[in-house]
Amino acid sequence: ANEKFDAIVVGAGPAGSAAAYTMAKAGLSVVLLERGEFPGAKNLFGGVLYRKQLEDILPDKWQEAPFERHIVEQRLWILDSQSAVTFGHRNEAFKHPYNCFTGMRVKFDQWFAGKAEEAGALPIYETVALELIREGDKVVGVRTDREDGDLYADVVVIADGVNSLLGKSLGIHREWSPDEVSLAVKEQIFLPKEKIMDRFNLEGDEGVTIEFIGETSKGMIGMGFLYTNKESLSLGIGVMVSELKRTRIKPYELLESVKQHPVIRKLIQGGETKEYAGHLIPEGGYHSIPPLSGNGWVICGDAAQLVNFVHREGTNLAMKSGQFAGEAIIEAKNRGDFSRATLSLYDQKVKESFVHKDLRKYRGLHGFLKEIDPKLAFTDLPRVLNEAAYEMLLVDGETKANKQRNAIKRMKETLGGTFSALKFGYKGWRAIN
């Protein structure tokens, strides 16, 4: 029972399956361990998957991925209580090649893990990794909840998601603090296909994403989303856990009020809610990334805080980090050395890629959000922006120059004067650059 493998991958999410596939394809003996009945059984996300990182891993097979709709338009709404200032971009070019698509994790994770199985990875599902087995500072295996459940390998790939029991047990990160994770709740709302296509101006398998900020997060740091699937919509909102603690607002109350917003209500009306679930998102950003490798282990995806929440990119960073981890382990196998010295190739690959560089670009944002008044940024400013838009478009005999002057005056007042407004703008710019 205690056969030794080249690698044990813990977690069959996008990160784990990417790592398992990469290694199995190169002929390594790999175990893919998953606590769910099957991969994706209990996994939840908003819904957007990205073509590029999937294609990097499966150049000939990515098209077979179970997708819902190919995204041709992405919108951003800044909401006040009964209004929206909207931005967006729609482009046929997003279809040639596809840029991103909506999907269901129940189907996608199963399919993706299936590719790792086809490549030769040994699936062990419905099995929980309880702890890492160590010899000194070296990780040599995983203890599972199965009888005789100790598994041994040269390397353990820790891809067990945001709560990362194994990452914590290594001591490379603590329990995430409430301002390093957000809690998102989501409903799947079923509607006839034709209704979705009419309401969102779609043809064939085209799809739209909408993210929204403003009044809907009730003065907390948060963002909502509405995505189109084939015959359903995914509606959700995520808020920093520290904010939920501060305000004592319950996430489901928040989602209920989102559904009442006049701009959103009309898009979902008549729909039937079939699923409701919540999940954490690692949003600590750059400064929360733990060391990525050590003697006999690497850590990938959500377990390593690799999420770019500004662009709602998580699955692709998970896949890319899993692929890099797999490649580094293949090299370690060639060298016959699984110490940190060789496995740090993985850190290096991550550092040289968009994964690390994008998170680095936004490294100041976390501090900025901590520093500012959430109500100001997420309720008051959206309100002033909406009022300005309303004023400028309302034909009431007032001159445009006066309207503009009033709008600027109100914006400055909201921000506490000209100096504060400039400081806010400057700090905000620095936070994302």
* Residue 296 sits in the site that holds ligand FAD (CB under 6 A): no
> In whole angstroms, what is the distance from residue 222 CA to residue 243 CA?
9
| C-beta of residue 6 within 8 angstroms of C-beta of residue 30 | yes
In this complex, which beta carbon is closest to ligand FAD, that of residue 214 or of residue 251? Answer: 251
In this complex, which beta carbon is closest to ligand FAD, that of residue 68 or of residue 387? Answer: 68
Q: Stretches 40-48, 146-154, 260-268, 425-433: which one binds ligand FAD (CB under 6 A)?
A: 40-48
**The binder of ligand FAD chosen from 29, 242, 295, 316 (CB under 6 A):** 316
**The binder of ligand FAD chosen from 76, 128, 421, 431 (CB under 6 A):** 128
In this complex, which beta carbon is closest to ligand FAD, that of residue 58 or of residue 415? Answer: 58
* Residue 208 sits in the site that holds ligand FAD (CB under 6 A): no
How far are the Cα atoms of 70, 124, 144, 209, 298 from residue 127, in angstroms, in the given order? 34, 7, 7, 35, 20
The two tokens of residue 144 are: 């599972």
In this complex, which beta carbon is closest to ligand FAD, that of residue 124 or of residue 249? Answer: 124
In this complex, which beta carbon is closest to ligand FAD, that of residue 303 or of residue 388? Answer: 303
* Residue 312 sits in the site that holds ligand FAD (CB under 6 A): yes
Task: Tell me, rounded to whole angstroms, the distance of Cα 15 from its chain centroid.
Answer: 12
* Residue 271 sits in the site that holds ligand FAD (CB under 6 A): no
Closest CA to 16 of 29, 32, 1: 32
How far are the Cα atoms of 75, 130, 189, 260, 387 from residue 257, in angstroms, in the given order? 20, 39, 15, 5, 21
For the chain, the straight-line distance linking the first and the last C-alpha, in angstroms and rounded, comes to: 52
* Residue 13 sits in the site that holds ligand FAD (CB under 6 A): yes
**The binder of ligand FAD chosen from 74, 242, 288, 315 (CB under 6 A):** 315
CB of 151 to ligand FAD, least distance (A): 11
**Helix/strand/coil for 70:** strand
Closest CA to 125 of 115, 113, 134, 133: 113
* Residue 7 sits in the site that holds ligand FAD (CB under 6 A): no
CB of 26 to ligand FAD, least distance (A): 20
Burial of residue 358 (CB within 10 Å: 0-12, 13-18, 19+) is middle
Residues lying near ligand FAD in the complex (CB under 6 A) are found at 10-16, 33-36, 39, 43-48, 128-129, 159-161, 165, 184, 186, 236, 238, 279, 281, 301-303, 307, 312-316, 318
